[in-house]
Amino acid sequence: MKKIINKIIAVLKQKWPFLLLFGAAIFVRFYQLGKIPLSLYIDELAILVDAKSLANTGYDMHGKPFFQAMFLSYGDYKLPVYVWLAALGVKLFGVNEFALRLPSALAGVGTIFVMILLAKELFSDTKKTPSIVSACRDNILKICSIIVVGFSPWSLLFSRTGFEGHVGQFFLSLAVLLLFLSKKNKWLILVSPFVAALSVYTYFSVRFVWPIIYLAWGILFLFTTGKKFKSAFKNNNFNKKKFAFFVISGLIFIALLQPMHRNEYYSDSNKFRLSTRSVLNLKDWPVEANKLREITDNTIVDRIFYHRHLLLMKALAENYTKNLSLNFLFLTGDSNLRHGTQEHGLFLWPLIIPFLLGLISLAKNNFKVFSFLIIWWLIALLPASAPMEVPHALRSLNALAPIALLIIFGLKKTYLLSTKNIKLKFTACLYFLILGIAAFSFLEFYFIQYPIKSALAWQDKHKEFAITLLNLQDTTEYIYVHPFSSEPHLAFLAYDKSLQNFSSLEFIDGNVNKIDQKIEFKILNKHEWQNIFPFHKNFIIAGNYYWYLNHWPKDATYLKNTKFIYNSLGDKEFVILIYEKP
């Protein structure tokens, strides 16, 4: 027994397990990319449409030049970086799901890299002279990083879908890495604001996160030395050069945000964001506060106790703590099927032990790194806490790096603890076996069960519906489509091969009503029949099955053919009615 365990440990000290795991982590990000999840969601489609337009013409779908700080898209104001990257993908691989999701998958691989390097910067023992022992420890740290990040459901799910948040989080952690690398080359401090700005131009909420992280880094690492908080200002080693670099870098970041602030869509986009349901507009807080104060005697004490700001803070805190729940992190995950499997947490469940161990031991061993990671985590959750959909895996993605780093430290600690005696070694082997099984069962679930389970959440068959209608348009005079989603035109714009240039389209509030002069989106009901029927000799009516069942006359006169499109559960999802007069 002892021999076997020692052999396992000896193997871990070599290079190839690391490479093997890394290869596997890359493989699971690229295997069937674009096919799993089954189809593109509205936001992804919108990016694909803009990317297609940029790749073909250099202008977005509204005819604006590609170098702009904000894209109108379908009226939700998208930030440019992901669109540019997707356009690059489209240029290389054509208009398809793979091209769209490629930037995110690459960011996923990049995140693993960044995590390995960050873990090395933050956790490796610099005091000891480089020896075989520390080299092997670094190897363990690398392996831990890959296990935690590479196979975490959180990272994997978002690596395989085209959400800007994931790429934004990659740039953010890259910028943080640059800050730490600047210890050796201080010019990197000046590079980091560029990467951070890139991150802001990818995902909006980084704007609030970066400044706090930057300040925390400055206070904890740049201006203090050693593990304890000995201020550099006091001990005469205050470095004017350091300070100048710090300020300049901050100014660069602020300057880089100006194009966004000056953009014509900027104020509209803020209004759009604030209009979503959040704690801010959940209740009429002054009225709520007055109600409570009326019940009490409205003394000064009551006016403080039941102040509207305090009530709002309580609602915010409630949302905030939901993102901190261990269940959310390790067992249940986001309930939205696009953001989680509903069966797995953000990280593999056995990692809950290293997570707790990492929290305690890091706070004990290196309080500075601990507080930096905690600040990063907590500030990353703030933008995710105001809206009412909490906990939210996508909006809290910026917290992926700090939580992962805490777990990595804990996992390394678990391994180091286990080397003490044979009993512990055995337990550790058992633990890593369970971890392996958990990872395997997650991957199995993700690639086999999840696609079917989540098909409807990903609006599966919208593509098929659009393509079927586009193919039918030569056979008929006119096509009416009942709007089957909030943005029905996107699927048509994306998959219409004859439509490479959107300049001919007429946009109303970011939406299109007519494509190719033949396909029209129109809310159809029984009365509309009178307005359609007399004007065409043959035409097609199409929409979702629910609409057909409830709002469309089943008059069979002139109905030549009815086509159904079935969803992955085998139910009728769409209906295409082909009418022809003799």
Contact set with other proteins (CB under 8 A): 292, 295-297, 301-302, 305-306, 314, 317-318, 321-322, 324-327, 331-332, 359-361, 363-364, 441, 444, 448-449, 452
The nearest distance, CB 228 to other proteins, in angstroms, is 10
Query: Any idea what DSSP says for residue 406?
Result: H
Nearer to other proteins, 237 or 449 (CB): 449
The nearest distance, CB 395 to other proteins, in angstroms, is 18
DSSP string, 358-378: HHHHHHHH-HHHHHHHHHHHH
Nearer to other proteins, 113 or 305 (CB): 305
Strands of the sheet containing 514-515, edge to edge, are 514-515, 519-521, 478-481, 538-544, 572-580, 559-566
The nearest distance, CB 393 to other proteins, in angstroms, is 16
Please say whether the beta carbons of 202 and 168 come within 8 A: yes
Burial bucket for residue 377 (CB in 10 Å: 0-12, 13-18, 19+) = buried
Structure tokens at 216: 């925390």
* Alpha-carbon gap, residue 77 to 69, rounded angstroms: 10
The nearest distance, CB 311 to other proteins, in angstroms, is 8
DSSP string, 89-120: HHHHH-SSHHHHHHHHHHHHHHHHHHHHHHHH
Nearer to other proteins, 8 or 363 (CB): 363
The nearest distance, CB 452 to other proteins, in angstroms, is 7
Nearer to other proteins, 30 or 305 (CB): 305
The nearest distance, CB 380 to other proteins, in angstroms, is 17
Residues in the chain: 582
Using CA atoms, how far residue 372 sits from 199, 248, 368, 484, in Å, is 20, 22, 6, 47
Nearer to other proteins, 60 or 334 (CB): 334
Nearer to other proteins, 296 or 525 (CB): 296
Nearer to other proteins, 352 or 428 (CB): 352
- Residue 228 CB partners (closer than 8 Å, separation 6+): 367, 368
What number of helices (H) and strands (E) belong to the chain? 25, 10
The nearest distance, CB 349 to other proteins, in angstroms, is 8
Please say whether the beta carbons of 98 and 105 come within 8 A: no
The nearest distance, CB 297 to other proteins, in angstroms, is 8
For residue 302, which phi and psi values (nearest 5 degrees)?
A: -65, -35
Nearer to other proteins, 74 or 330 (CB): 330
